[in-house]
């Protein structure tokens, strides 16, 4: 207090002129400091290209990443997350190369995704579902589409990312029009484009790394001359990959080609790539970016199982078989691989008839191989190497198997593998399945075939095989598959021993560039591991045998795909699907399935327990096709629409089928189902009012909850229709949405539209075949003599009480909005009831 009083007296003693001079000097100093600060910051934020990192000062300790937000609104799932594990991928077109490569990696890793064309101006896809986020990660094929987005959508997306802790991956695609140097709009980040790079290395202190090992330098030029490097002095940016420029004036400094944004600038974590995915190391870092930005929700474990099959170990013409030295090399290589892959063992497939079928020197190789019989795992082919489907007598087939057993005292038929299910290509879709107790695992090719014998004669030259191994298809197979079974052949282990060369080189590459933990297991245990990891694969997904020539060639010549239906009427229940089924059956060119003893006019193959009976069982419900080209089979199963599995099953077996769904007011549909259940004496429907059913809590009795779900869930039209579009997405014109209300009031016009949709040449005028029955209150089939054939009384639903209507209008409001957007995207007319409902939404 005393010091303050002294200061006040001192100030009073200073002359006024001195005070002005002091203030003037203070202002001059302030201007000088401000100018210096602005100039210095500008220079720091805009480094020149030469301001890279020296090789001696290459690696930096990363700043602490911004933690993902949690607990800020939203609902938590069982794993504590507030977003669905789905990746939103913005592509420039459905056919862009980079977009397809991004999707291929996601599909290989079995990560769920959704692709959208990058919006410039227009609607952003719906990002939330109630209080939950619909996407766990955003990927932009072209990051400039994000940077230059209109302000409304940009703010919407940024707010979503911040609130739900969602990260972003982006690629900068330089072209001849790109500025050589520019600042990324809105970010303290500078880009230098259209560069040639070489000698890439990984920053070992990057927090991004999971699978990637930062140990070696990739020496040599990187593919392409249109690379972009990133520079900034902001603490939010840390390098992941660095490389040198290829220009003559290059100083040897390292420049960042992949950069990580820790989220310190705007609260959103990002990983930006200065090129596409053509460089294999980008694919590896991309997998790590998926893991890091999703807090390891979309992450591949480090555990990898590898099994190498050697098919036809005794089948081969003279000159291609293994000799004594080849067998010794096989055993030595197996022991060498075991140093890094515990208990690694080659799996040998044999046909006993061809033992000792080579030269004397090759026969001695056969003898030596059998002396090592306990060193390997073995599995049988047919004794004579004939394909099993060519046997028309089961006893002869069994006899062939027994000959292998008598000779080798082993027959392995509980587990096998194939590269043909569901199809040979694309390889990333190969799956396992279990059929009649036999477990079938997916098998992969590795660039080695029966004709690839000599290194110098490899198709494309020796460098092509090395490319496949070093970061190419073979490397990616191991990277993206937890279990890899590789198919090789006897001829790959004689002469130049390409099989041994391939897997020794692959192992070295994996150990150099990844942290993967390589293991192996015998086939039985490997099958256990596979189906524990992928339990959904246990049930086979029946494919159309006629869509794949390789499959058609082994299918019975007595069967025909013309017996499959070309039209599915998928429901949902209580919308008028049964009436439409009746009307379709009146057309002379349309034939429905035979009735089922269990489910009447519905087969329910794709949604019911009969699916495991197979396609032969399904085909028996349809007539043998005549010679007429007008045969058009269809089936109606109203349970297909909202089934979780029907769409994927139907698309696999009937990829070219037409799909018709009838959508009526979901409020009306819910009440109609309740009335239907009351008519069938459902205890819950008889005990509880409709309002009690639809408003029941999760603590309600189980039977009440089941009834509630069947009343409400089928009315989530947008959700179920999206599922069908997901599996029939290549041809949206194959799906027709029928207005259930119009079907009731003007069925003839609906049938005219359907006949055009089906492409029927024989057009029927339904005005002449249908008649309105005033007693029933709906349209019926007109018979000879003026009589009508109508559906039963239970097919005429009424609206529920006012209180329930208000509740359901609100309940279905958001879903109906999504349905309108979906139908608009499909190019289909909105049903009248939906237009009316949207007009009433305030």
542 annotated binding-site participant: no
* Domain 303-533 grouped into CATH 3.20.20.370: yes
Q: d(Cα 790, Cα 296) in Å, to the nearest integer?
A: 58
pLDDT category at 34 given cuts 50, 70, 90 is very low
Q: Which residues contact 236 (CB under 8 A, 6 or more apart)?
A: 63, 188, 261, 262, 263, 264, 265
- Please identify which residue in the block is written with the tokens 């932009």: 140
562-663+730-768 has the same fold as 87-294: yes
Contact assessment for residue 737 and residue 726, using Cβ atoms and an 8 Å cutoff: no
The whole model's pTM is what? 0.84
Whether 303 has a pLDDT exceeding 50, the answer reads yes
- CA 124 vs. chain centroid, Å, equals 21
797 is in an annotated binding site: yes
Mean pLDDT, rounded, for 398-405: 78
What residue ranges in 211-274 does DSSP mark as E strands?
217-221, 227-231, 237-245, 255-261, 270-273
User: Please, which residues have CB within 8 angstroms of residue 749's CB and are 6 or more apart in sequence?
Assistant: 742
Q: Can you list the positions of beta strands (E) in 521-622? A: 567-569, 590-592
List pLDDT tens digits, range 478-518. Answer: 999 999 999 999 999 999 999 999 999 999 999 999 999 99
Q: Each residue of 173-232: pLDDT tens digit?
A: 888 777 788 899 999 999 999 999 999 999 999 999 999 999 899 999 999 999 999 999
Whether the per-residue pLDDT at 54 is higher than 50: the answer is: no
Given a cut of 80, whether residue 59 has pLDDT beyond it is no
Residues 612-641 have a mean pLDDT of 89
- The verdict on whether 825 is a catalytic residue reads no
> Is there a binding annotation on residue 557?
no
Q: Pick the range with the lowest mean pLDDT from 48-57, 154-163, 198-207, 568-577.
A: 48-57
> Which pLDDT score is estimated for 475?
98
d(CA 139, CA 102): 9
Q: Tell me the average pLDDT across 722-749.
A: 89
Instruction: Tell me if 795 sits within 8 A of 578, measured CB to CB.
Output: yes
Architecture of domain 87-294: 3-Layer(aba) Sandwich (3.40)
Q: How far apart are CA 309 and CA 484, in angstroms?
A: 11
Q: What is the DSSP string of 187-210?
A: SS-EEEEEE-EEEEEE-TT-TT-S
Which one of the listed residues 173, 574, 636, 744 is annotated catalytic?
574
Q: Helices 498-513 & 324-338, crossing angle to 10 degrees?
A: 10
What is the b/e burial string over 588-622, where b = at least 16 CB atoms within 10 angstroms of the residue's CB? ebbbbbeebeeeebbbbbbbbebbeeebeebbebb
CATH ID of 562-663+730-768, from 3.40.50.300, 1.10.287.40, 3.40.30.10, 3.40.50.970: 3.40.50.300
The predicted structure's pLDDT at residue 41: 37
The response to whether 798 counts as a known ligand-binding position is yes
- pLDDT at 261 exceeding the cut of 60: yes
With tokens 């026969």, the residue in question is 363
pLDDT at 5 over 50: no
In what side-by-side order are the strands of the sheet with 658-663? 590-592, 632-636, 567-569, 658-663, 735-739
Domain coordinates of the chain in residue numbers? 87-294, 303-533, 562-663+730-768, 665-716+801-841, 770-796
Position 162 scores a pLDDT of: 97
140 is in an annotated binding site: no
Look at residues 570, 571, 574 and name the one whose alpha carbon lies nearest to residue 800.
574
Average pLDDT of the chain is 88
The answer on pLDDT for 794 being more than 60 is: no
Tokens 């609906």 correspond to what residue? 750
- pLDDT at residue 386 is higher than 50: yes
pLDDT (tens digit per residue) in 348-363:
999 888 999 999 999 9
787 known member of a binding site: no
Q: What is the DSSP letter of 373?
A: G
pLDDT of residue 163: 96
Phi and psi at residue 517, in whole multiples of 5°?
-105, 105
How far apart CA 242 and CA 54 sit, in angstroms, is 11
> Which tokens go with 254?
């390292």
* Weakest mean pLDDT among 305-309, 396-400, 672-676, 682-686: 396-400
């Amino acid at each position: 207090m005393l010091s303050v009083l002294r200061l006040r007296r001192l100030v009073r003693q200073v002359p006024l002129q001195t005070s002005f001079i002091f203030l003037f000097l203070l202002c001059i100093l302030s201007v000088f400091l401000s100018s210096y600060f602005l100039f210095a910051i500008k220079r720091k934020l805009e480094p020149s290209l030469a301001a890279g990192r020296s090789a001696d000062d290459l690696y930096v300790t990363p700043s602490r990443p911004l933690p993902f937000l949690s607990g800020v609104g939203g609902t938590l799932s069982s794993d504590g997350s507030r977003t669905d594990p789905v990746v939103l991928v913005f592509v420039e077109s459905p056919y862009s190369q980079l977009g397809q490569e991004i999707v291929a990696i996601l599909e290989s890793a079995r990560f769920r995704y959704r692709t959208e064309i990058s919006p410039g101006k227009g609607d952003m896809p719906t990002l939330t579902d109630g209080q939950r986020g619909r996407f766990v990660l955003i990927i932009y094929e072209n990051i400039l589409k994000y940077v230059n987005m209109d302000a409304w959508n940009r703010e919407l997306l940024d707010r979503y990312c911040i609130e739900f802790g969602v990260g972003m991956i982006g690629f900068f695609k330089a072209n001849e029009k790109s500025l050589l140097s520019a600042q990324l709009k809105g970010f303290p980040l500078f880009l230098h484009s259209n560069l040639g790079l070489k000698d890439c290395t990984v920053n070992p202190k990057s927090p991004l790394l999971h699978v990637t090992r930062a140990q070696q330098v990739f020496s040599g030029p990187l593919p392409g001359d249109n690379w972009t490097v990133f520079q900034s002095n902001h603490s939010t940016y840390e390098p992941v990959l660095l490389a040198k420029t290829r220009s003559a004036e290059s100083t040897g400094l390292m420049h960042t080609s992949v950069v990580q944004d820790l989220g310190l600038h705007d609260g959103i974590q990002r990983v930006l790539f200065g090129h596409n995915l053509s460089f294999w190391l980008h694919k590896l870092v991309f997998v790590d970016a998926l893991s890091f930005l999703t807090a390891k929700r979309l992450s591949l474990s480090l555990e990898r199982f590898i099994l190498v099959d050697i098919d036809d170990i005794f089948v081969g013409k003279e000159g291609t078989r293994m000799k004594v030295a080849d067998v010794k090399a096989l055993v030595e290589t197996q022991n060498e691989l075991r140093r890094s892959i515990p208990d690694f063992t080659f799996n040998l497939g044999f046909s006993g008839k061809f033992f000792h079928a080579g030269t004397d020197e090759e026969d001695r190789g056969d003898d030596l191989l059998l002396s090592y019989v306990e060193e390997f795992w073995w599995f049988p082919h047919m004794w004579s190497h004939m394909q099993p489907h060519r046997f028309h007598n089961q006893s002869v087939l069994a006899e062939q198997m027994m000959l292998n057993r008598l000779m080798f005292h082993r027959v392995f038929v509980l587990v096998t593998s194939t590269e043909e299910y569901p199809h040979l290509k694309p390889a990333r879709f190969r799956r396992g399945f279990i059929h009649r107790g036999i477990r079938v695992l997916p098998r992969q090719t590795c660039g080695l075939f029966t004709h690839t014998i000599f290194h110098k004669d490899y198709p494309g030259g020796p460098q092509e095989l090395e490319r496949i191994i070093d970061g190419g298809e073979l490397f990616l197979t191991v990277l993206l598959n937890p279990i890899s079974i590789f198919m090789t052949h006897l001829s790959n282990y004689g002469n130049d021993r390409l099989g041994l060369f391939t897997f020794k080189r692959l192992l070295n590459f994996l150990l150099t560039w990844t942290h993967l933990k390589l293991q192996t297991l015998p086939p039985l245990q490997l099958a256990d591991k596979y189906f524990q990891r992928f339990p959904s694969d246990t049930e086979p997904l029946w494919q159309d045998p006629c869509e794949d020539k390789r499959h058609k060639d082994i299918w019975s010549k007595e069967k025909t795909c013309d017996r499959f239906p070309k039209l599915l009427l998928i429901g949902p229940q209580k919308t008028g699907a049964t009436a439409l089924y009746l009307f379709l059956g009146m057309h002379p060119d349309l034939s429905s399935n035979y009735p089922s003893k269990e489910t009447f006019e519905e087969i329910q193959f794709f949604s019911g327990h009969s699916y495991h009976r197979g396609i032969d069982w399904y085909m028996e419900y349809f007539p043998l096709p005549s010679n007429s080209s007008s045969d058009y089979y269809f089936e109606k199963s109203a349970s297909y629409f909202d089934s979780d599995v029907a769409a994927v099953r139907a698309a696999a077996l009937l990829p070219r089928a037409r799909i018709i769904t009838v959508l009526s007011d979901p409020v009306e549909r819910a009440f109609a189902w309740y009335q239907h259940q009351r008519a069938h004496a459902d205890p819950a429907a008889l005990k509880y009012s409709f309002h009690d059913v639809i408003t029941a809590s999760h603590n309600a009795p189980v039977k009440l909850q089941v009834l509630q779900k069947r009343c409400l869930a089928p009315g989530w039209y947008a959700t179920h229709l999206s599922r069908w579009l997901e599996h029939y997405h290549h041809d949206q014109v194959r799906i027709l949405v029928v207005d259930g209300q119009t079907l009731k009031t003007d069925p003839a016009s609906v049938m005219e539209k359907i006949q055009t949709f089906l492409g029927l040449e024989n057009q029927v005028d339904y005005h002449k075949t249908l008649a309105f029955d005033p007693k029933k209150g709906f349209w019926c089939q007109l018979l000879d003599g003026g009589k009508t054939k109508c559906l039963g009384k239970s097919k005429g639903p009424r609206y529920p009480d006012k209180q329930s209507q208000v509740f359901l209008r609100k309940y279905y409001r958001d879903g109906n909005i999504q349905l309108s957007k979906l139908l608009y995207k499909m190019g289909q007319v909105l049903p009248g009831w939906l237009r009316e409902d949207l007009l009433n939404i305030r």
